[in-house]
Structure 1
Amino acid sequence: MPTTRRFTLACALGAALVLATAPAAAQSASSTLRLVPSSDLKVLDPTWTTAVVTRNHGYMIYDTLFGTDAQGRIQPQMVESHTVSADGKTWTFKLRPGLAFHDGQAVTAEDVLASLARWAKRDPMGQRMYGALAKAEAVSANSFRLNFNEPYGAVLESLGKPSSLVPFILPRRLAETPADQQIAEHIGSGPYVFKADEFRPGERAVYLKNEKYVPRKEAPSGTTGAKLVKVDRVEWVVLKDAQTQVNALVNGEVDMLESVPFEHYKALKANPKITVTAAAGGQYLLRFNHLVPPFNDARVRQAAMLSMNQDALLRTQVGIPELYKTCMSVYPCGSPLASNKSLGMTAKPDFAKARELLKQAGYKGQPVVLLHATDNSSLAKLPPVVAQLLRQGGFTVDMKSMDWGSVVARRAKKEPADQGGWNAFVTYWGSEDALNPINYAPLSANGESGWFGWASDQRLEDLRAAFARAGDEAHRKQLAEDIQVRAYEIGAFAPMGELLRPVAFRQGAVQGVLVGSTNVYWNISKP
């Protein structure tokens, strides 16, 4: 097992907290689980955006071929078995029986191939895998084959990746939607059915138990194993104010908070009726739009990076020392690929050098549009501090405040900033995404086919391709460091430190909560 997979538990997922386990028969009690999601759900297509709330929505209604367990190991999910040819070029997969979409249609190999093809157009790891692929074909109704031009060692890691753009399986007719367009229907084969008629953006999303779902027999772990649905209904209740969220939890109006507001962390920890855990690790970063001025100049991007003060940012946003730390590695600090090579940039700002770079680049003080998500408690305090730091570094900043759903929609626009586009935004990535330079979308540099910001650099892409082919751990380590150095050279993004993300739920009100890097809502029951 590759080192990065072994490390996932320790660095990113944390130990999965299983408060009630055992894959017993799912209960049929008429009950409703009510929780507050980390942000408002506005984008419903999990292949179209990397937003965490949309990923979590995807896990509710879709299933995956493979998943990642709490120990960071890739395990089969929709797949019953698979084989690899002796030369390592041909992978054959057989689907397990009983798979059906919510509309009653059986899941077929054609559905799988169409879903993977669409996913691979947007996901960096999928793009890399499909770039090495010679042919993908259906062998029968329930089996398919991937033929590669050369041995490709990251097949299962790609198909079982737990976060960002997850390769969820859709019906073929929906998966044939162009990757740059959002799907019109939301039908999967997962443990819950999306109630489209009750969906109210800004208010709630509703999911019903999929009575026909056939769970695996293994114990639930991470995004793998038995997805046992023990409630009839799950409601995501959108509450944008942090105090309102906490009051709703304490008063029993909701059962869970997907993301605890940091300013309420200590009070909830001290409440004997509430369980608070911080198992999920992640990174903050400032992402630049590489397509439009002024961040289409690497010197300007580096000037912004030099203006960041990680300690000030983390103290403002998190404020709880045990929940954050500064880190200049693009990979999680302490992970196998972590490196301290950052071209002289540190967690502390160098405003003089930033201003000098702006002067060299000919920056004339044009406003930089910085997107500010006001309703995302994990991010909301960062953009005002970023804006002030950028101003100290010599930038003129126009901060646009909006909800996170609007940020997600606006960051997809490629128009100039003064025509409805953007220049920079603050975001969060789970540590499990950043363990691998192939998977980590902010490291993609394939232009407009890549992640929002659309960095373009052939050298960085060549290094990532070499990493995908490398089998020797020492070689992979060196390539990962070279990738980090190149990312700093082109100013791919500005690292802003690491954190642990707390989750809270009512003791006694729910049982069976699985806490890890990915929020999943199977296995939960209400006494």
Structure 2
Amino acid sequence: MANDVVASLQRWGQVAARGRDLFRDVESVVARDPYTVEIRLREANGLVPLALAIPSQGAVIYPREVIEEAGAGQIRRFIGTGPYRFVEHVPDVRIRLERFDGYRARDDAPDGMAGRRDAHLDAIEFLPVPDASVRIAGVQRGDYHFAHSIPTDEFARLRAIRSVTPLVITTPQWAGFMFNHRAGLATNRLLRRAIVAALDEEAILRGTYGPKQFWRPTPSFYPREHPMWTEAGAEIYRQHDPAAARRMLAEAGYRGQPIRWMVSSEMPHHLAAATIAKSQLEAAGLAIDLQVMDWATLVSRRSRPDGWDVFTTTFGFVPDPVFLLPLSPTWPGWYQDREMQAHMRLLWRHADPRVRVQIWSRAQQRFYNQAVAVRLGDWFPMLLHRAELRGVVAGPGTFHWNVWITRSP
């Protein structure tokens, strides 16, 4: 009901970075009747529907009593009102969903994450399987129907196996290294620029992702088909000049202090990219203290500004630059820049694509001038599923409604 929506949106506007970005312009959220919610803005904003629809850090709706129970803490009671309902979470073992018989699908056609959602399966279980080789073997044997994060160098072999289907996500993600702008050595812009200058992004992409079809060296955060495509900053992205990097290091006053670099051993492509980068940077005169840890530890440590300078990560596709996490002052890295924030505010204000791409071109140039983060380039993840699993969509997000199982081939 409307009161649940109001409570959920108000909480989202407080606890989620993307919610806070939108709620800077929100004057009030009120329930006008049981089925109508009014969002009143302080000034024009062209991205309200997009901000509400984006799934990552999304505006999820909970019953009001669940919001009140959680207070300022984490949501602990999960309801589930979509095609599948939450049943249980056994940490490090499984998450189980079951068909929700009370759900009624829309009448329109499916369209990515929108449109009609049908629950063709009785239940779905998500199982943590850290080892990629075990995931692959499990799908081949029929232990699992679907697996994430398949090494791209397995594509040719898996494509020849009739019982499985390797699936390449054509919506690009991007790989990179995030700097700590709040504390430590990476607060020095010249040192950050030196790191960017020393790196050979194409060599890192090749060594990390293998076959060329799985990666693309580009300064643009968006493909050419997207209205926000621009090559602003290309001269910095394509620099690869270790000699220039050494000059910048000298100007920055760098004296061989170790750069504390966090990377997860649970993300093989993260570790591969960081290892190749370490070799390139050391050749340019930097000392890299590569600290390898599990992902949960990295996520915990990156939330505190003391103790690290860089961490390796990948970023999913977002439909608009205002949602790019490295540009958020509240996301780990804590990039604070008045000029960039002014660009972001203009992007929130304007709806005309021609005006917006001009604003974003200036912002992307600022990203490279400031060395906000290292953008290595695009990469295209690979999934694997059983051939009898049908209806799987290769998009920016993975979902399992509208998916069904036929007889084994």
Query: 1:134, 1:149 within 8 Å by CA — same for their partners in 2?
Result: yes
Could you tell me how far 1:482 is from its partner in structure 2?
0.8
Aligned twin of 1:121: 14
Aligned twin of 1:287: 178
Query: 2:196, 2:237 within 8 Å by CA — same for their partners in 1?
Result: no
Q: 1:370 aligns with which of 250, 261, 266?
A: 261
Q: How does 1:472-487 map to 2 (within 5 A)?
A: 472-487=352-367
When the two structures are superposed, what TM-score results if normalisation uses the length of structure 2?
Answer: 0.91
Q: Secondary structure at the match of 1:426?
A: strand
Query: 2:237, 2:368 within 8 Å by CA — same for their partners in 1?
Result: no
Give distance in 2, aligned partners of 1:230 and 1:178: 36
Moved more, 300-309 or 245-254: 300-309
Give distance in 2, aligned partners of 1:122 and 1:486: 28
Q: 1:441 aligns with which of 325, 331, 345?
A: 325
Give distance in 2, aligned partners of 1:300 and 1:375: 28
Q: 2:380 aligns with which of 492, 500, 509?
A: 500
More helix per residue: 2
Unmatched 5+ stretches in structure 1 = 1-107
Aligned twin of 1:44: none
- The structure-2 alpha-carbon separation of the partners of 1:332 and 1:173, relative to structure 1 and needing over 3 Å to count, comes to farther
- The structure-2 alpha-carbon separation of the partners of 1:480 and 1:151, relative to structure 1 and needing over 3 Å to count, comes to same
- The structure-2 alpha-carbon separation of the partners of 1:283 and 1:326, relative to structure 1 and needing over 3 Å to count, comes to same
Task: Determine if the alignment matches structure 1 residue 344 to structure 2 residue 344.
Answer: no
Task: Determine if the alignment matches structure 1 residue 525 to structure 2 residue 404.
Answer: yes
Q: How does 1:383-398 map to 2 (within 5 A)?
A: 383-398=274-289
RMSD: 2.2
Task: Determine if the alignment matches structure 1 residue 428 to structure 2 residue 327.
Answer: no
Give distance in 1, aligned partners of 2:61 and 2:189: 38
When the two structures are superposed, what TM-score results if normalisation uses the length of structure 1?
Answer: 0.72
Q: How does 1:320-335 map to 2 (within 5 A)?
A: 320-333=211-224, 335=226
- Measured against aligned partners, the alpha-carbon deviations of 1:415-437 in whole angstroms (never above 9, x if no partner) come to x11xxxx2212222233x1x422
Q: 1:357 aligns with which of 239, 248, 258?
A: 248
Give distance in 2, aligned partners of 1:374 and 1:304: 22
Task: Determine if the alignment matches structure 1 residue 516 to structure 2 residue 400.
Answer: no
Query: 1:246, 1:264 within 8 Å by CA — same for their partners in 2?
Result: no
Q: How does 1:187-336 map to 2 (within 5 A)?
A: 187-196=79-88, 198-201=89-92, 203-279=93-169, 280-333=171-224, 335-336=226-227
Unmatched 5+ stretches in structure 2 = none
Letter in 2 for 1:516: G
Aligned twin of 1:12: none
Query: 1:215, 1:228 within 8 Å by CA — same for their partners in 2?
Result: yes
- The structure-2 alpha-carbon separation of the partners of 1:135 and 1:502, relative to structure 1 and needing over 3 Å to count, comes to same
Letter in 2 for 1:167: A
Could you tell me how far 1:357 is from its partner in structure 2?
2.1
Q: 2:29 aligns with which of 131, 136, 140?
A: 136
Aligned twin of 1:185: 77
Identity %: 26
Aligned twin of 2:292: 401
Give distance in 1, aligned partners of 2:110 and 2:91: 30
Give distance in 2, aligned partners of 1:470 and 1:296: 32
Q: How does 1:58-207 map to 2 (within 5 A)?
A: 108-162=1-55, 164-175=56-67, 177=70, 181-196=73-88, 198-201=89-92, 203-207=93-97
Task: Determine if the alignment matches structure 1 residue 469 to structure 2 residue 349.
Answer: yes
Q: Secondary structure at the match of 2:77?
A: coil
Query: 1:308, 1:347 within 8 Å by CA — same for their partners in 2?
Result: no
Give distance in 2, aligned partners of 1:385 and 1:122: 36
Query: 2:107, 2:116 within 8 Å by CA — same for their partners in 1?
Result: yes
Give distance in 2, aligned partners of 1:118 and 1:153: 22
Give distance in 2, aligned partners of 1:398 and 1:185: 41
Query: 2:45, 2:350 within 8 Å by CA — same for their partners in 1?
Result: no
The count of aligned residue pairs is: 404
- The structure-2 alpha-carbon separation of the partners of 1:503 and 1:249, relative to structure 1 and needing over 3 Å to count, comes to same
Letter in 2 for 1:286: F
Q: 2:340 aligns with which of 449, 460, 468?
A: 460
Query: 1:281, 1:430 within 8 Å by CA — same for their partners in 2?
Result: yes
Letter in 2 for 1:293: G
Could you tell me how far 1:365 is from its partner in structure 2?
2.6
Moved more, 402-411 or 464-473: 402-411
Query: 1:111, 1:171 within 8 Å by CA — same for their partners in 2?
Result: yes
Give distance in 2, aligned partners of 1:249 and 1:498: 27
Give distance in 2, aligned partners of 1:194 and 1:340: 43
Moved more, 517-526 or 272-281: 272-281
Give distance in 1, aligned partners of 2:67 and 2:257: 42
Could you tell me how far 1:473 is from its partner in structure 2?
2.9
Letter in 2 for 1:458: R
- Measured against aligned partners, the alpha-carbon deviations of 1:310-369 in whole angstroms (never above 9, x if no partner) come to 111111111111121101123445533222221731335222222222222223333222
Letter in 1 for 2:314: Y
Query: 2:278, 2:288 within 8 Å by CA — same for their partners in 1?
Result: yes
